[in-house]
Amino acid sequence: MFNYQQPVWRDFERNNGDKKKDFNKEPKQMDLIEQIEYEIKKMEFSVNRTKTQIKRMVNSNPQLNKFMTLTFADNMADVKQANYLFNQFIKRITYRYPDFEYLAVPEFQKRGSIHYHLLCNLPYIEMDGLQYIWSHGVVNIRKISEVNNLGAYMSKYLSKELFDGKMFNKKKFFRSQTLRQSIELLGWYAMLFADKFLSLIKPVFEKVFVSEWTGEVEYKAYNLGFVAFSEGVFKRSVLMNSE
């Protein structure tokens, strides 16, 4: 939940006709220092935006209760080839377990090789069988326990290396298309939701930060232990029902 010190406006234009800053549109006539600063801000913006996407997706799918790591025995630095082998693994797992769902983040090891971190709902499988299905290196899998904010836990693997160089224009994370999307409530509906579902529980994480656009922002994360909108769709009846 976000509480903003200043009003938040959406889909607006400033008085001078300039739209809100867009990092996809590069400013003109910058010197070298300005260009470097611009690229740094652009990367930070992309990293934070992608981390937010991962956090919201993971926290909207509590069925992802296993943490899996896939590593290559050889020094696999070819992103295209690594992603191909990873996708083949996903196809084989899904063929065996049709209800398999996952969210995966690639990461570069110190040796330069890629490996993959997954949150998934894989049922019990013998390690030898899982190792055989992967067949490119070591597999590690364990059940998630005592982690209150899985979204933040997963997004920590998202490094700046994924936004430049070899990973330019490549996917920063992979996921099942069947995962629930996060639901965003604004204004009165957000206050009603907080009053109904959050007033009697403590947040698992709290942070106050300053935004260039909205001033001071108070962020609180909660572990509800249930899905308020079970079908991934906002329903007014869920909020309006007093029971």
Q: What fold does the segment set 66-175 form as a domain? A: Alpha-Beta Plaits (3.30.70)
- The pair of structure tokens assigned to 72 is 């290559």
Instruction: Show the beta-strand stretches assigned E in the chain.
Output: 2-4, 66-70, 102-108, 114-120, 139-143, 174-175, 205-211, 215-221
Contact 238, 229 (CB under 8 A): yes
Mean of per-residue pLDDT scores for the chain: 76
Ranking 56-65, 95-104, 120-129, 134-143 by mean pLDDT, the lowest is 56-65
**Are β-strands 114-120 and 205-211 bridged in parallel, bridged antiparallel, or unpaired?**
unpaired
Q: What digits encode the pLDDT tens for the residues 150-163?
A: 666 677 766 555 54
- Average pLDDT, integer, range 55-83: 87
Q: Using the predicted structure, report yes or no on whether residue 108 has a pLDDT greater than 80.
A: yes
Give Dmax over CA atoms of the chain in angstroms.
64
Section 98-108 average pLDDT: 91
> What's the pTM?
0.67
